[in-house]
Amino acid sequence: MTADQAERVSRVLVIAAHPDDVDFGSAGTVAQWVDAGLTVSYCIATSGEAGGSDQSVSRADMVFIRQAEQTAAAKQVGVHDLHFLGYPDGQVEPSLGLRRDLARVIRLLRPQRVVCPSPERNYGRLGVSHPDHRAVGSAALDAVYPDARNPFAFPELLAAENLEPWSVREVWISGTATPNHFVDITATFSKKIAALRSHVSQVSDPDALEQRLRGWLSATAAAGGLPEGSLAEAFQVIQVG
């Protein structure tokens, strides 16, 4: 991040579908932003109650487990402001209600930068193209433009909640098949792994996970032309204006 970017961007909102999505997709980058003095918040559409493999755990209990795990994971990279929207895990649609709720958070937090999942299917990595990811990505982009900036979109946000319109400057899309920006996270990889290991209910073999992540992130760094031995996260960065 250049000095100009640091001056221009002070607040970032990361939007995700499930607890742990942020940590798989962008925790290394988030850790760098926090270290650089940016304020980062998370907005998680679901509480991940459809996750995990232990059928003896009730889904109501899983909500609390996964919210606690995501809160702990966020602390590993210096994030302490989290918003859970409570949409049903596995059943998210890019509805007007979700667009309104995301526009509300954007107007409340007033970020210059928003990170969100890709609304498009990635045929090279189907795992990142969960239907909830695509639905949240689509709703997030609509919330950025035009909903959050338009005073006549969801007028109740202004009339009843006094949330003034807000224009996001840029969007970073994770999980995309067409990245145009690669972030070297070699120095913050340990924080990313610590965040992922906080998701105890989802990670059965942390050591194997670390090796798998190294493989993915090394390949991403190579695709981005970074030096051998680097680890990277990739995004499609869009300037909204």
Instruction: Give the pLDDT of residue 125.
Output: 86
Looking only at the bridges linking them, the beta strands covering 81-87 and 11-16 are unpaired
Give the domains, in start order, of the chain with CATH numbers: 3-239 (3.40.50.10320)
φ, ψ of residue 216 to 5 degrees: the values are: -60, -50
First to last CA, the chain: 19
Output helix, strand, coil percentages for the chain, rounded to the nearest 5: 45, 20, 40
Instruction: Establish whether the linkage from the previous residue to 146 is cis, with ω within 30° of 0.
Output: yes
pLDDT tens digits in sequence order for the chain, 241 residues long: 443 444 589 999 999 999 999 999 999 999 999 999 999 999 999 999 888 777 788 888 999 999 999 999 999 999 999 999 999 999 999 999 999 999 999 999 999 999 999 999 999 888 889 999 999 999 999 999 999 999 999 999 999 999 999 999 999 999 999 999 999 999 999 999 999 999 999 988 888 999 999 999 999 999 999 999 999 999 999 999 7
Angle between helices 131-142 and 96-109 (to 10 degrees): 60
Phi, psi of 177 (to 5 degrees): -85, -10
Count CB atoms within 10 A of the CB of residue 212: 11
The reported pLDDT for the residue numbered 59 is: 86
Bridge partners of residue 235, in order along the sequence: 174, 181
Among the listed residues 231, 234, 150, the one whose alpha carbon sits nearest the alpha carbon of residue 187: 231
**pLDDT of amino acid 46:** 97
Classify the phi-psi angles of 239: left when phi > 0, otherwise alpha if psi is within -120 to 50, otherwise beta.
beta
The pLDDT of residue 50 is 87
Model pLDDT, residue 52: 72
**Whole-number pLDDT of residue 7:** 53
Strand partners, 39: 11
